């Protein structure tokens, strides 16, 4: 056996100091692309690619684009600092499944009055002035609410550390901030996912999305010209036009689901499989069993309850809070419709390996944290929310896409989520933990209760990290 560290991420400042044309991730991709078709050792292939960068690029283009082996582009990885983008745009960026993101947290950082003014308003002076006035009012209220909450928590719990107290205050004060709030993130992404991201940005109607696309392209394309090619709009969007086929009934002004939103009902189960416990247990057995899948299920169904219990005890024996359950748990899938604030959605969307669809419509509803109500600021918050909705309704149709900048963190949204039981274990471990933010903890706890009811054995260890020892 032999192992060679072929490469790793280093700061771009060090790379620029090399001053060589072959300081490109294309060297690694070209060498790895040849592994499947060459008898040479991979370290030899890397040396050849390093000495012939033009040939390496030609090889990449042939294998990735002509032959369609796009996975080769995944060996090229970039670390990108994305600074001063709106919270709204982070949703589009962070849709990439195969990528890593760390974003400036409104839960831990105090945000100054820094928000994006859309380029779409550059020639609309009156609307721009109204927009800035409203944004200033929202940030002023954020600052006022933060100070009031900080003082309230100081009096209620004088022993609480100042950092913990301030985080609690920020956690709730942020619900009044708009999605226009500027933020920053670090992103690690491979060339294949980056190409998809650039296309997604290119077809988005917001000018901010186009600007970011152009900036990334200009910075990355020279580093790996053979791996980033299909980045421009090509007519495909995957959208449907309901009006064109006479289905305008889906587009009513007063959508029925708006009136049905239950502020306390965080999660509604849409579907779940039958006999979940037996299905998961059969999946656990399948790899060791000599029976086919259906025979395996039928045989398991005839086992006495005591025997099944012994098998479940074996399945979870030695489990710790950081362990993942086996892939067999993925056979059980659940569909939910969730109600949450934009602030909660900012956390939920990070679980992007599952299937998540967010409604584009604005529910018009708004959640005010209980601490804000206790502090006596709820009337002011409600008035500011009404102002954002009214102002949004007045924006001309030609630039209607900028309305989403006016959504507040407290604005409610509807989410469809399809998650298998293995994904749910990961989600609940993190989000039902005592350190999790209160709203996403409510969502997670509700989901946990639903799953436990439908799969009492397979979900017997489903809980937050902080509760794990209690159920062991």
Q: What are the pLDDT digits (tens) for 94-150?
A: 999 999 999 999 989 889 999 999 999 999 999 999 999 999 999 999 999 999 999
What pTM did the predictor assign?
0.89
Of 54-58, 89-93, 232-236, which gets the smallest average pLDDT? 54-58
Q: What are the pLDDT digits (tens) for 8-67?
A: 787 888 888 876 777 778 777 877 777 767 788 888 877 877 777 777 677 666 766 666
How confident is the model at residue 66, as a pLDDT?
63
Q: What are the pLDDT digits (tens) for 454-463?
A: 999 999 999 9
Q: Report, as an integer, the average pLDDT of 199-225.
A: 91
Q: Where are the domains of the chain?
A: 12-75, 80-226+368-408, 275-317
Q: What are the pLDDT digits (tens) for 412-444?
A: 999 999 999 999 999 999 999 999 999 999 999
How confident is the model at residue 44, as a pLDDT?
85
The CATH class given to the 80-226+368-408 domain equals: alpha beta
Nearest Cα neighbor of 50 from 19, 76, 28, 73 is: 28
CA distance 313 to 311: 5
Strand order in the sheet with 182-190: 77-86, 182-190, 99-103
Nearest Cα neighbor of 419 from 297, 312, 277, 271 is: 271
CA distance 193 to 160: 44
CA distance 296 to 318: 26
């Amino acid at each position: 056996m032999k192992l060679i560290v072929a490469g790793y991420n280093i700061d771009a400042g060090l790379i620029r100091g090399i001053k060589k044309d072959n300081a490109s991730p294309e060297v690694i991709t070209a060498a790895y692309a040849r592994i499947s078709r060459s008898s040479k050792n991979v370290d030899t292939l890397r040396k050849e690619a390093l000495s012939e960068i033009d040939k390496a690029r030609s090889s990449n283009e042939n294998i990735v684009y002509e032959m369609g082996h796009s996975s080769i582009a995944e060996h090229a990885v970039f670390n990108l600092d994305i600074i001063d983008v709106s919270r709204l745009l982070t949703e589009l960026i962070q849709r990439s499944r195969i990528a890593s993101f760390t974003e400036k947290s409104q839960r831990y950082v105090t945000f100054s009055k820094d928000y994006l003014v859309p380029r779409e308003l550059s020639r609309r002076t009156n609307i721009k002035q109204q927009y800035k006035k409203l944004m200033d009012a929202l940030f002023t209220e954020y600052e006022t609410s933060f100070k009031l909450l900080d003082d309230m928590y100081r009096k209620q719990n004088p022993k609480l550390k100042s950092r913990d107290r301030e985080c609690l205050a920020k956690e709730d004060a942020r619900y009044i901030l708009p999605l226009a709030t500027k933020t920053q993130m670090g992103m690690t992404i491979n060339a294949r996912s980056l190409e998809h991201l650039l296309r997604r940005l290119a077809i988005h109607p917001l000018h901010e999305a186009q600007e970011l696309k152009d900036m990334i392209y200009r910075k990355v394309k020279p580093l790996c010209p053979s791996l980033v090619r299909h980045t421009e709009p090509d007519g495909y969007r995957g959208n449907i036009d309901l009006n064109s086929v006479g289905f305008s009934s889906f587009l009513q002004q007063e959508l029925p689901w708006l009136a049905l939103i239950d502020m306390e009902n965080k999660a509604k189960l849409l579907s779940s499989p039958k006999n979940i416990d037996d299905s998961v247990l059969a999946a656990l057995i399948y790899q060791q069993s000599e029976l086919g899948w259906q025979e395996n299920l039928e045989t398991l169904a005839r086992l006495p309850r005591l025997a099944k219990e012994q098998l479940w005890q074996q399945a979870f024996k030695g489990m710790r809070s950081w362990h993942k359950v086996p892939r067999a748990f993925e056979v059980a899938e659940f569909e939910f419709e969730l109600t949450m604030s934009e602030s909660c959605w900012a956390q939920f969307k990070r679980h992007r390996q599952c299937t998540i669809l967010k409604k584009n419509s604005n529910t018009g509803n708004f959640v005010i944290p209980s601490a804000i109500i206790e502090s006596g600021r709820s009337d002011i918050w409600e008035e500011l929310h009404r102002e954002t909705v009214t102002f949004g309704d007045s924006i001309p149709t030609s630039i209607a896409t900028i309305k989403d900048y006016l959504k507040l963190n407290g604005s409610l949204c509807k989410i469809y989520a399809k998650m298998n039981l293995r994904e749910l274990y990961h989600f609940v471990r993190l989000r039902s933990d005592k350190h999790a933010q209160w709203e996403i903890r409510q969502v997670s706890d509700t989901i946990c209760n639903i799953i436990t009811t439908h799969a009492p054995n397979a979900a017997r260890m489903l809980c937050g990290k902080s509760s794990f020892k209690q159920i062991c």
